[in-house]
Chains A and B, each alone.
Chain A
Amino acid sequence: MDAKVEFLLRLGDNALVLGHRVSEWCGVAPVLEEDIALANVSLDLIGQTQLWLGLAAEIEDQGRSADDLAFLRDAWEFRNLLLVEQPNRDFAVTMMRQFLFDVWHKLYLQALTQADDDQISAIADKSLKEVTYHLERSQDVVIALGDGTEVSQTRMQSALDRLWPYVGEMFLTDTVDAALPGIAPDNASLRDAFDKVLAQVMTEATLTIPDSSFTHKGGRTGAQHSEHLGHMLATMQTLQRCYPGASW
Chain B
Amino acid sequence: MVTMAKPDVCQIMHWLDQVPDPEIPAISLVDLGVIRDVQWLDDMLQVTVTPTYSGCPATAVINMDIETALKSHGIEKVALKRQISPPWTTDWLSESGKVKLEAYGIAPPRPAGGPSKCPLCGSSAVEKISQFGSTPCKAQWRCTDCLEPFDYFKCI
Contacts and interface: CB of A to CB of B under 8 A. Distances in A.
Interface of A: 33-34, 36-37, 40-41, 43-48, 50-51, 118, 121-123, 125-127, 129-130, 133, 136-137, 140
Nearest to B130: A33
Contacts of B87: 122, 125-126, 129
The residue in B54, B85, B131, B140 that gathers the most chain A C-beta atoms within 10 A of its C-beta is B54
Given A33-B140, A129-B87, A133-B156, A44 B53 contact: yes
B133 interface: yes
B105 interface: no
Interface of B: 51, 53-57, 84-87, 89, 129-134, 136, 140, 154, 156
Contacts of B154: 133
12 contacts: A33-B130, A34-B130, A40-B133, A44-B53, A44-B55, A44-B136, A45-B55, A46-B55, A48-B54, A126-B85, A129-B89, A136-B131
A137 B55 contact: no
A33 B89 CA distance: 24
Contacts of B140: 33, 36
Contacts of B136: 40, 43-44
Contacts of A123: 84
Given A33-B130, A44-B53, 17 more contacts: A33-B129, A36-B134, A37-B130, A41-B132, A43-B55, A45-B55, A47-B54, A48-B54, A122-B84, A125-B85, A125-B86, A126-B54, A126-B85, A126-B87, A130-B54, A130-B156, A133-B154
Contacts of A50: 54-55
Contact of B132 (A46, A121, A127, A137): A137
A93 to B, nearest CB: 20
A122 B140 CA distance: 29
Contacts of B85: 118, 121-122, 125-126
Contacts of A41: 132
A127 B54 contact: yes
A106 B83 CA distance: 22
B53 to A, nearest CB: 6
A47 B55 contact: yes
Contacts of B84: 51, 122-123, 125-126
A44 B55 CA distance: 5
A51 B53 CA distance: 12
Given A125-B87, A126-B85, A36 B55 contact: no
In order of increasing CB-CB distance, the 8 nearest A-B pairs are A47-B55, A47-B54, A122-B85, A37-B132, A33-B130, A43-B55, A40-B132, A126-B87
Contact of A37 (B54, B89, B131, B156): B131
A36 B54 contact: no
Contacts of A48: 54-55
Contacts of A40: 132-133, 136
Nearest to A137: B131
Nearest to B55: A47
Contact of A44 (B54, B86, B89, B129): B54
